[in-house]
Chains A and B, each alone.
Chain A
Amino acid sequence: MHEVSIALSIMDIIVKKCREESCNKIDSVRLKIGKAAGVMPDALLFAFDNIKTDTIAKDAEMIIDIIPLGGTCNSCKRDFDTEEAYVLECPKCGSADFVINKGNEMEIIDMEVS
């Protein structure tokens, strides 16, 4: 349910950025959300659609790029990606000695304004 708070934060950021560019309408916004970020994309889209009315983003489309969880194994030295929300062992060799380096993202990449 924290998707509402997250949608409000996104709205704050993009409205401010749009004004800085001396524009007054947001047409789309593109996000990068990691699988392990604890955010449900559908809930976020729903929240955004509900708070955007009466704002300069009222016609804006939200596009979400989902980033899989991935890391590098210290044992077999290989990189891996997974569709899971967590990793307990290296999917390639089973080692528990690995570092996660993607999948926690929660970022705004860019937006289309006019």
Chain B
Amino acid sequence: MKVKVVTRILEANERLAEENKKRFKEAGLFVINLMGAPGAGKTTLLEKTIQKLKGKAKLGVIEGDIAGSDDAERINAAGVPVVQINTGGACHLDANMISGVLGELPLKDMNMLIIENVGNLVCPAEFKVGENIKAMVLSITEGHDKPLKYPLMFQESKALVLNKIDLVPYTNVDIEKIKKDALSLNPEIKIFEVSCSTGEGIDLWAEWLNGQRSK
């Protein structure tokens, strides 16, 4: 017997993401889903962003990792509430994992939540978690072919943070090509050139992020 199904496969995740979103809105929380490859510098950017936004925004963090809690310890040391999700092998966070840990954060004392997704350029872009915006970190050492190889994440992100620009003189990477391809895929994407080691560009990024909160 043939049975019509006609169902979006990720519908269950999207429904849960909507529930998360409602909960975030009620708590007055602005939520960022921060994505990028392993080693792009997501956690370091997060530490620098926390320093810059001290006294300006009330932050909390969810750290997603396949295993381990090193990143959460680093964020904890930076003085903001943090919970760790170990996906135990899964390459992305999904809405259900996020709703499972919300009770462990002091949502009432926060107005911004940054979710650091699992290091991966593909899968996190596919699963909504209830965020207001997605942002991605790409280190210039990953090469200038990334936008066209992994278009979905560039298309989904509202901001692209190009990290490690202090290393440009030591590589043959074509930054203009990265920017051009990213903008072709997503004309609205906001691009920040930063260096987490010299601190260059962090101000602009942190201010922009904080400004998104009131939108």
Q: A2-B122, A86-B185, A88-B185 are in contact. Are A9 and B10 (CB under 8 A)?
A: yes
Q: Which residues of B contact A114 (CB under 8 A)?
A: 1
Contact between A21 and B13 (Cβ–Cβ < 8 Å)? no
List residues of chain B with CB within 8 A of the CB of A14: 5
B27 within 8 Å of A by Cβ?
no
0 or 1 for each of A1-15: is its CB under 8 Å from B? (1 = yes): 110111001101110
Contact: B8 with A2, CB < 8 Å? no
Question: Could you tell me how many residues of chain A have their Cβ less than 8 Å away from some Cβ of chain B?
Answer: 33
Out of B3, B91, B181, which one reaches A111, CB within 8 Å? B3
B212, CB-defined interface residue at 8 Å: no
Indicate which residue in B5, B8, B125 contacts A17 across the interface (CB closer than 8 Å): B5
Contact across chains for B5 and A13 when beta carbons are under 8 A apart? yes
Per DSSP, chain A at the interface is mixed
Stretch from A49-57, A75-83, A101-109 that touches the partner: A101-109
A65 is an interface residue with CB less than 8 A from chain B:
no
How far is A29 from B2 in the complex, measured between Cα atoms in Å?
10
Assess whether A96 is in contact with B184, with CB atoms less than 8 Å apart.
yes
In B138-164, the 8 Å CB interface with A consists of 148, 151-152, 155
Query: For chain A residues 17-59, which have a beta carbon within 8 Å of chain B?
Result: 17-18, 21, 23, 29, 31, 36-39
Interface residues of B (CB under 8 A from A): 1-13, 90-92, 94, 120, 122-123, 125-127, 148, 151-152, 155, 181, 184-185, 187
